[in-house]
Every structure is written in C-alpha cells, then in structure tokens.
Amino acid sequence: MFKLVSSIFKPTPAPIVPVTRELLQKRHHLCSNLGHIYKTQLDLLNNTLPNELLNEIPILKYYTEFSSQYLDQLKELNNTDFNNIEYTEEKFQSLITKQLDSKVLELEVLNSKIQPDDLKSLDDNYSNDIDSFFFHFHSNRIAASFELKEYLYEKPLLQVYNAKSVLDQAIKTTSRMLSLNDYPIPKFKPIETIDSNLKVYCISPHAVHIMFELFKNATLPSITKNQPIMINISIDKNDSNSIIFEIKDNGGGMPESMIEKIWQFHYTTTKANDRDPIHGFGMGLPLCKVFAEFNDGSLDLVNKPGEGVTIYFKVPKGIEKV
C-alpha cells in the first residue's frame, strides 16, 4: 500500500500484566461484542446474495471468501478459555492482535484480486442490494477493528478532540502521504477565521482518514486550476450539537454522470494502467461514508459545474465533562 517511514528502536521487555477480575470482565465484554459482530458478518456473507449473482460478479465472490476467516476467528474466541485466570493476558493480547492484523489486511487482499473486468461487471450490475451488502460488510469490519483496538489501546478511541487539531493532522497526513508517493502537494486556505475552541466527539483517526481522502480527491483539480483547497470548521446552523468540516475545491466541478456514481463501491474512473496505492480501487468516498456514519456523522456533496465541489463532513459536537 502506501510507502511508510519507519524507525528502528531497541525493543524493551514487555511488562507482565496480572490477570484480575476486572481484566476478565474486560475480556468477556470484548469477546461478547466480537462474537456478535462476527456472527452478523457470517450471516451477511453466507445468506445475503444469491449464488447466480456471485458467479456473475467476481468481486462479490472475493468478499464472500472472507467467510472462512470470520468463522475461524469466531471459533478461536469460543475455544479460548479467556475466563480462566491462568490464561495470561500476554497470550490473550497476542490472539486478538492477530485478529486485528487480519482486519487491516482485508482491503489489501481485496485489491490484490480485483481486475479491470471485475470492476466493469460490478458497475454494469450494481444495485441497491449490492450497495447494502458492501456497506454492511465494511461497517462490520470497522466495528470489529474498533472493538479490538479499544481493548489494546490505553486511551479510548472515541472521545472529545479539538476540531482544528484534527483538521491540522489531516492536512499534515495528506501532505506527507502525497509527497511520499510523488504527488504534488496542494495549498490549503481557510474560508474564514477558524474557531480554535470548537471540539468534536469522534474517533480522531477515522476523521483524519476521511479528510485525507477528501483532500486527496481535491488535489488534482485544485492544482490543475492553480487554486487552493478551501477549508472551514463551523457549528451546523441546523443542528447546534454538530460540527461541520467544509472542504471545497475550485477545480471546475464534476460531470453529472459521475455524480450519480461517486458513492458507489468500487466505481472508479482511473484506468487500469494508472492504478496506484492512492487511486484506482473505487473505495475512497464510499468508505468515507461508512466511517462517517460509524461516528454518528454524515457526508454531503454539492457539485457546481464550472466552479467546483464542496463536501460537508458532519460529526457530533464535543462537550467537555466538568
């Protein structure tokens, strides 16, 4: 996938974590939630789509092939005596880290199988049922990853963050990733003075990922027209409990034929020879919508032909506890 910058650190021995009653309850909570998600995913993969559709559209079959993985992981949870105080925390964390790694690799596995003809056959036969299948698959996948990370990380992922800090992190991430992959870096310009006191309640890495995708999409039209990407953060005028990140390019807008399909999973205008780690798999905007809804937010797009595209990313307002 993306080129990454890594550093080498001298490893230090991990401390032994004592297994307490509270820790056993935490394990039980995780395994109960994961078990529900995995069963939901298995039902989706095994019972949602008819066999004739799977045979006609290879991409759908690539998805249903994950059924064996989810079944193995469910059995792994059921066969693990995680309620036993003798079952060390180091062993339990190793088990769930392995499951988390598999979730991270699912998109990479999918993209390695997809061929140009697969994308065309899906586009020709796309339907609301197929869209719902993709949406729920990725919602379940993200939910499983969230549960695993919540257990492994010390701080909760879902919390109050400074909105401007999240935006700044997204700009920094975008500039870094574009530069590492030999893409030009766009300029960013506030639409108005940004209130640095606004806060959001979300999973910050999700919000950063969403804005990275939106910035990435706005890069080429903005640079082509020699225009900055316009940004803003404001309280939603129609909902005082929501914050809106506004991202606008002045790249001329998109044709209406494209607007009809931009939220469609695996729809791409990138040619096969131009596919790279950043473009060509048709997962950017659809996955952004999944991430947004997972954070109780939304994405809305306004296209003005001849002018540009504006996207409004809404998330709940963060309220600090007194």
- State pLDDT tens for residues 56-88: 999 999 999 999 999 999 999 998 888 888 889
Domain boundary pick from 121, 152, 183: 152
Residue 6 lies in a domain: no
Residue 10 lies in a domain: no
**pLDDT attached to residue 322:** 52
Rounded distance between C-alpha atoms, residue 110 and residue 126, angstroms: 18
Same domain membership, residue 105 and residue 41? yes
- State pLDDT tens for residues 299-312: 999 998 888 899 99
Same domain membership, residue 296 and residue 168? yes
Domain boundary pick from 129, 152, 175: 152
Residue 163: is its pLDDT beyond 60?
Answer: yes
Rounded distance between C-alpha atoms, residue 278 and residue 221, angstroms: 16
Residue 3 lies in a domain: no
Same domain membership, residue 192 and residue 258? yes
Whether 2 contacts 181, CB under 8 Å: yes
Residue 250 lies in a domain: yes
Rounded distance between C-alpha atoms, residue 311 and residue 150, angstroms: 29
Residue 2 lies in a domain: no
Share of the chain above pLDDT 70, in %: 91
Same domain membership, residue 173 and residue 103? no
- State pLDDT tens for residues 218-265: 998 888 889 999 999 999 999 999 999 999 998 888 888 788 889 999
244: CATH? 3.30.565.10
Task: Measure the N-to-C terminal CA separation of the chain; round to a whole number of Å.
Answer: 43
Residue 118: is its pLDDT beyond 90?
Answer: yes
Share of the chain above pLDDT 90, in %: 71
Rounded distance between C-alpha atoms, residue 44 and residue 42, angstroms: 5
Rounded distance between C-alpha atoms, residue 314 and residue 234, angstroms: 10
Same domain membership, residue 162 and residue 134? no
Q: Which residue has the tokens 């709940």?
A: 316
134: CATH? 1.20.140
Same domain membership, residue 143 and residue 227? no
Residue 168: is its pLDDT beyond 70?
Answer: yes
Residue 14 lies in a domain: no
Same domain membership, residue 252 and residue 108? no
Name the domain count of the chain. 2
Same domain membership, residue 181 and residue 142? no
Q: Which residue in 240, 258, 247 sits closest to 216, CA to CA?
A: 247
Same domain membership, residue 292 and residue 164? yes
Residue 170 lies in a domain: yes
The model's pTM is 0.89
Q: Which residue has the tokens 């909760």?
A: 156
Whether 313 contacts 214, CB under 8 Å: yes
Domain boundary pick from 123, 152, 181: 152
Q: Residue 128 corresponds to which tokens in the numbers above?
A: 């609301």
Rounded distance between C-alpha atoms, residue 268 and residue 311, angstroms: 19
Range of the domain at 104: 21-152
Rounded distance between C-alpha atoms, residue 23 and residue 12, angstroms: 23
Q: How many CB atoms lie within 10 A of CB 83?
A: 11
Q: Would strands 188-190 and 229-235 be described as parallel, antiparallel, or unpaired?
A: parallel
- State which of 18-27, 80-89, 208-217 shows the largest mean pLDDT: 208-217
Rounded distance between C-alpha atoms, residue 210 and residue 193, angstroms: 22
Q: Which residue has the higher pLDDT, 209 or 268?
A: 209
Residue 108 lies in a domain: yes
Average pLDDT, whole number, for the chain? Answer: 89
